[in-house]
Amino acid sequence: MRIAMLSPIAWRTPPRKYGPWELVVSLITEGLVKKGIDVTLFATADSVTDGKLHAVVPRPYEEDRSLDAKVCECLHISEVFERAEDFDLIHNHFDFLPLSYSRLTKTPVLTTIHGFSSPKILTVYKKYNDTSFYVSISNADRSSELDYIDTVYHGINLDSFTFQETPEDYLLFLGRIHHDKGAGEAIQIARKARMKLIMAGIIQDEAYFKDQVEPFIDGSQIKFVGSVNNEQRNELLGKAFGFIHSINFNEPFGLSVVEANACGTPVVAFKKGSMPEIISDGENGFLSDDISSAVEAIGNLKTISRHKCRSVVEERFSQDRMVENYLAVYRRIIEKM
Average pLDDT score over residue span 36-41: 98
% of the chain at pLDDT higher than 90: 98
How does pLDDT run across 143-181, given as a tens digit for each residue?
999 999 999 999 999 999 999 999 999 999 999 999 999
Residues in the chain: 337
pLDDT score recorded for residue 238: 97
Cα atoms in the 13 Å half-sphere on the side-chain side of 293: 12
pLDDT score recorded for residue 117: 87
Assign 109 to helix, strand or coil.
Answer: strand
Amino acid at 67: L
Record the pTM.
0.92
- Which residues are bridge partners to 281 per DSSP? 285
For residue 327, pLDDT over 90 is answered with yes
% of the chain at pLDDT higher than 70: 100
Q: Give how far Cα 241 sits from Cα of 134, 185, 238, 264, Å.
A: 38, 18, 8, 9
For residue 83, pLDDT over 90 is answered with yes
pLDDT score recorded for residue 33: 98
Mean pLDDT, rounded, of the chain: 97
For residue 17, pLDDT over 90 is answered with no
Average pLDDT score over residue span 26-36: 98
How does pLDDT run across 257-315, given as a tens digit for each residue?
999 999 999 999 999 999 999 999 999 999 999 999 999 999 999 999 999 999 999 99
Q: In which band, very low, low, confident or very high, does the pLDDT at 116 lie, cut at 50, 70 and 90? A: very high
How does pLDDT run across 44-72, given as a tens digit for each residue?
999 999 999 999 999 999 999 999 999 99
How does pLDDT run across 200-236, given as a tens digit for each residue?
999 999 999 999 999 999 999 999 999 999 999 999 9
pLDDT score recorded for residue 275: 98
Burial track 123-138 (b if 16+ CB lie within 10 A, e otherwise): eebeebbeebbbbbbb
Domains belonging to the chain, first-starting first, are 2-155+318-336 (3.40.50.2000), 158-316 (3.40.50.2000)
pLDDT score recorded for residue 149: 98
pLDDT score recorded for residue 337: 81
